[in-house]
Amino acid sequence: MKLSIRTFGAAVLLACLAMPAAQANVVVGGTRVVLPAEQGEVTVRLSNANERPALVQAWIDRGDPKSSPDSVDTPFLVTPPMFRIEPQRDQNLRILYTGEALPADRESVFWLNVLEIPPKPSAQDTANQNYLQVALRSRIKLFFRPKGLAGDALKAPSQLTFRAVSGDGGTVLVVSNPTAYHVTLSALSVESAGKSYDGETGMVAPFAELRVHVAGLAKPPAAGAVVHFNAINDYGAPTPFNGATAP
């Protein structure tokens, strides 16, 4: 009996979530996707770098890493949702916005999942051997960008503000984002008394705050302490910025 797409997705997802780190053969062309509302759709390129074909399933969720294709509810369609990709070949995924109402004054973030199921090895390949077959999932951010947003996404990181406070047994840096764009921090450090202290990283949502712990910094530095950070741009590249702690 043939498994339905939903049954198949739920079954292989359990294996995907529990597996150890491994190298995917199906590679997503980019580390993030930006879908401008005025375009209504965007294309994502997948490549199979392996010498064997692979079965791929794709879906979008709202931020739950345990999501499965039959449990998600988002305003996007992915086509094709399931397909076979031949060795050394590419496949385009189309992501289409269905028109569900989303905030018009800020970006919304979703997640694109690409699940790779390797082919079953032949009897000759596994003769007198034990083998474990696993499914590999790539998961990248999808930003839905409404038309006419104020400001510039590439300049949004420069508008972040920083405030150092006591908390969590040391210093916490409160990062505020006054822009309509998500800002992802891939590196962050604070200079205090001639030393540099590394902070946690993460994503600051539009018009929101992110609290990051600064390792080794016992008490908040004086106002004006320099903050160095890298922000990931629309093309997936880290861009360096500097800021300073507010009074």
What does the pLDDT read at residue 227? 98
- What average pLDDT does the segment 81-106 reach? 96
Measured distance CA(114)–CA(139) in Å, rounded: 6
Residue 225 has pLDDT above 80, yes or no: yes
**Residue type present at position 13:** L
Which residue from 30, 205, 230, 237 is spatially nearest to 107, judged by alpha carbons? Answer: 205
* pTM score, whole prediction: 0.84
Which residue segments constitute the domains of the chain, with CATH numbers given?
5-145 (2.60.40.10), 156-244 (2.60.40.10)
User: What end-to-end distance do the CA atoms of the chain give, in Å?
Assistant: 67
